[in-house]
Amino acid sequence: MTKSSQPIFPYPPKKVEGYPTYLPDQVQPVGSLLDANVYKQNQDPPKLFEPLTIRGVEFPNRAWVAPMCQYSSDEGKATDHHLVHLGSMAMRGWGSIMVEATAVVPEGRITPEDMGIWEDAQIEPLKRVVDYVHGLRGIIGIQLAHAGRKASNPAPWTLRQAIEEKGYDGGDVVGEENGGWPNNVQAPSAISFNPGKYANPVEITTEYIENLKKAYVAAVERCKKIGFDFIEIHGAHGYLLHEFVSPLSNTRKDSYGGSLDNRIRLPLELAQLVREKWNKPLFYRVSATDWLEEDLGPEKGKNGEWAWWGIEQTTYLTQKLADLGLDLIDVSSGGNDLRGNIKVGPSYQLPFAEHIKQNVSNILVGSVGIITEPVQANDILEEGKADIVFLARQVLRDIDFPLRAALELGAAVSPAVQYERAWTRMLVKRDHVKKAAHHHGVDEVQGEEGKKTKPKRDAPPEVHTSVP
């Protein structure tokens, strides 16, 4: 029998070198703009897909994942859930991914199941996640946190199930028998967030503050070993640093309480320490307001004293952070006082981000708050109200948002190579001005994507038109 001649393909598969298992190499970062010489619509791309470089780290687009607590860690360690949860996002084209609020000390967790970075044993599980995201050419950072007086609570679904299934109507403090620390909840002042429900906190001593500074520095060193691309300091949502800046939760009589400069002293000291030890991008999340004007009147009372935490003090703090060399302010709101009358709606927190962008120099601004639609997200950026947008719950509802946004806004971005057959509608080579020629960027169009059954619905717009 004679040997037949076979049509041999001579090229080996491209893989990520050094990764412990086979992982196909991505042509370029998922969610980044494809070559504008080939995809001419990218010569004037939507702002949402304009890359951003901070301290040498290039973020491929401006749709970023906000940190979201998962309450799924094991003694502060990342688990398989985090690999799947965050790794799935890296496959979908987000410009940046941020690991949830991660406690720098054990008592800094919100729940016993929160993420931690207070010991070296927590390095390797997080490094596994970071290595995978980097293997996909993604960008990933972490939010360093301390829960303050809102610590030692149950996970939200655990509390909900107890209420719904057992009619529970007691306190929300997790006892020691279930991994809690009810007698070691630390706060600026001994003021409970919700008396009768939340913990009665211990007032932080100056010795504790000095040890906390060391804990943040140690956490930064672990971040270096893990390989994170950026760090965010959590100063929002009623957790420790937010508690320090508010005159309602901080009634101290020492150098960390009283005047505005005293109340923001600890956040600035921590920011400076982290900045000195970390040469990559550094962000800070603020709650810009506690929404208390309807209950307590103006942020600054007639006597000239600050009545509650609001946008004026936030702007002052942000400029101080910018002067220390922080790169981005992540603008959220609320969380420190149950009386807050929050006006919720699409982009409801955008005015605070826009105010800071207009009144603070030398810092980038991120906006959050019910940003759910591609046009909405792109408008925020095109109109100069913020530099990037953070999405959270929408990520969980629509993990493919960046690729769907590219399709809707008329851009061509790189899907993950494993998923490119699902995005052939987006991979259309078009003249930016003339009518789209439906010539796909991949050689073969297979499956449902190849059908031209509803061309008006499936065809992307010729150019992005989110702003008149």
CATH number at residue 318: 3.20.20.70
Q: In this structure, is residue 23 part of a structural domain?
A: no
Active centre residues (catalytic): 239
Are 300 and 393 part of one and the same domain? no
Are 309 and 397 part of one and the same domain? no
Tokens, residue 258: 């009283």
Q: Are strands 57-59 and 52-54 parallel, antiparallel or unpaired?
A: antiparallel
Per-residue pLDDT of 66-106, as tens digits, reads 999 999 999 999 999 999 999 999 999 999 999 999 999 99
Q: In this structure, is residue 430 part of a structural domain?
A: yes
Are 448 and 399 part of one and the same domain? yes
What's the Cα-to-Cα distance from 125 to each of 83, 101, 114, rounded to whole Å?
A: 9, 16, 14
Q: How far apart are CA 390 and CA 97, in angstroms?
A: 10
Per-residue pLDDT of 430-466, as tens digits, reads 775 444 333 333 333 333 344 444 444 455 555 554 4
Q: In this structure, is residue 86 part of a structural domain?
A: yes
Q: How far apart are CA 280 and CA 54, in angstroms?
A: 8
Note the pLDDT of residue 460: 52
Q: Which domain holds residue 461?
A: 31-57+368-378+388-468
What's the Cα-to-Cα distance from 463 to each of 41, 51, 165, 437, rounded to whole Å?
A: 7, 18, 52, 13
Q: In this structure, is residue 9 part of a structural domain?
A: no
Q: How far apart are CA 215 and CA 217, in angstroms?
A: 5
Measured in residues, the chain has a length of 468
Neighbours of 233 (CB within 10 A): 25
Q: Are strands 97-103 and 140-145 parallel, antiparallel or unpaired?
A: parallel
Pick from 110, 142, 109: nearest CA to 123: 142
Per-residue pLDDT of 10-19, as tens digits, reads 999 999 999 9
Are 92 and 209 part of one and the same domain? yes
pTM over 0.95: no
* Structural domains counted in the chain: 2
Are 199 and 279 part of one and the same domain? yes
Q: In this structure, is residue 179 part of a structural domain?
A: yes
Q: In this structure, is residue 171 part of a structural domain?
A: yes
Q: In this structure, is residue 5 part of a structural domain?
A: no
Helix (H) or strand (E) holding 404: helix 401-409
Mean pLDDT on 250-272: 98
Are 358 and 409 part of one and the same domain? no
Note the pLDDT of residue 432: 54
Lowest mean pLDDT, pick from 86-95, 298-307, 390-399:
298-307
